[in-house]
Amino acid sequence: MSSIALAAQRYLSEEQNNRDMGCEVWESLRNEAFRVVANERALRGFINTAVLAHDDFSSALSALLARKLGGPHISSERLEDLVRTATTDDPELIKSGIADLMAALTRDPAADSYLTPFLYYKGFHALQWHRISHWLWNRRRREVAHFLQNRVSEVFAVDIHPAVPIGRGVFIDHATGVVIGETAVVGDDVSILQGVTLGGTGKQHGDRHPKVGDGVLLSVGAKVLGNIKIGRRAKIGAGSVVLKDVPECATVAGIPARIVGWCSDAAMVPGLSMDQSLPEPDYHI
């Protein structure tokens, strides 16, 4: 079989897997929604509007995001049309949203079903709106992108510049106080906890923000500053201030951060394990 045929086969297989996964997630969402409707009369209208009135994940997500952000300046109806236009133009937006929802369920022990993060996790909502803003930014609709960035900051307390590319399977836990600057990059399977900043070190222009590799864990309150690289599968300790490159698989902590450990094995991915603990120090106070 030719290399072109093999590539096409792999592409079709991946597309089928994506479709199957999307159907599985949507079926789980609906089943959980039916359970809630049966048990909680007070939530029936809300659950019907959010999930059961829709035919697929894309439709439900578009409507939910629009209701979260709609206001006097742009109505929910207009925002829903915007999300539908974006997701129709770029189906990767929905694939990424499904991957993000799966990340929330698998990495947060408080998430008891897909329905909980879908309906209630503002980190998930803020990230999906950022993906729409980034789509607008890349199509040079930058005033609308900035407007959405501002609304997301007001509503969810998350401030991500629309220019920032963010990979799939990203989990923003709790989300309050997360700030990501214009020239930052975030890879796949990254987990970001509350109070994290990916910022600059001053008022200079140009490329000035961190580049975060796949599988990184950015623990509570971590501040990563400057045009530095955080290598794949690195762990940034809670409350750390990182001002220099972090090697792949390293654990860093402190102010300023220094290396305090390394991945214990080749399969360790801090962004997936969510383990914020640090190695025992080689000294005692």
| Residues 28-58 pLDDT 10s | 999 999 999 999 999 999 999 999 999 999 9
**Sequence letter at residue 83:** V
- DSSP letter for each residue of 93-116: HHHHHHHHHHHHHHH-TT--SSHH
Instruction: For the chain, 285 residues long, give each residue's pLDDT as a single digit of tens.
Output: 555 554 444 544 555 565 667 789 999 999 999 999 999 999 999 999 999 999 999 999 999 999 999 998 899 999 999 999 999 999 999 999 999 999 999 999 999 999 999 999 999 999 999 999 999 999 999 999 999 999 999 999 999 999 999 999 999 999 999 999 999 999 999 999 999 999 999 888 999 999 999 999 999 999 999 999 999 999 999 999 999 999 999 999 999 999 999 998 877 999 999 999 998 766 555
* CATH match for 1-157 among 1.10.1060.10, 1.10.3130.10, 1.25.40.340, 1.10.10.10: 1.10.3130.10
The residue written with tokens 């106080």 in the block is 177
- Distance between CA 271 and CA 280 in Å, rounded? 20
The model's pLDDT over 69-116, given as tens digits with 9 standing for 90+, comes to 999 889 999 999 999 999 999 999 999 999 999 999 999 999 999 999
pLDDT of residue 19: 66
Joined tokens for residue 145: 């992108």
pLDDT of residue 282: 61
Fold equal for 1-157 and 164-285: no
Please tell me whether residue 27 adopts helix, strand or coil conformation: helix
Joined tokens for residue 248: 């792949």
pLDDT of residue 22: 79
Residue ranges per structural domain of the chain: 1-157, 164-285
100 neighbors 121 (Cβ within 8 angstroms): no
The whole model's pTM is what?
0.91
Q: Which residues pair with 171 in a beta bridge?
A: 191
- Distance between CA 63 and CA 49 in Å, rounded? 9
CA 88 to mean position of chain CA atoms: 20
Provide φ and ψ at 189, rounded to 5°. Answer: 60, 35
- Distance between CA 33 and CA 203 in Å, rounded? 48
Q: DSSP character for 48? A: I
Strands 178-180 and 197-199: parallel
Please tell me whether residue 140 adopts helix, strand or coil conformation: coil
The residue written with tokens 């640090």 in the block is 278
- Distance between CA 112 and CA 30 in Å, rounded? 14
* CATH match for 164-285 among 3.10.129.10, 2.40.33.10, 2.160.10.10, 3.30.70.20: 2.160.10.10
Joined tokens for residue 58: 């894309």
- Distance between CA 260 and CA 94 in Å, rounded? 38
Q: By C-alpha distance, which of 154, 202, 163, 155 is closest to 182? A: 163
Contacts of 155 (CB under 8 A, 6+ apart): 68, 69, 122
Q: By C-alpha distance, which of 264, 216, 266 is closest to 237? A: 216
pLDDT of residue 265: 83
250 neighbors 278 (Cβ within 8 angstroms): no
pLDDT of residue 12: 44
Please tell me whether residue 187 adopts helix, strand or coil conformation: coil
Please tell me whether residue 6 adopts helix, strand or coil conformation: helix
Sheet holding 223-225, edge to edge: 158-160, 178-180, 197-199, 223-225, 241-242
Please tell me whether residue 268 adopts helix, strand or coil conformation: coil
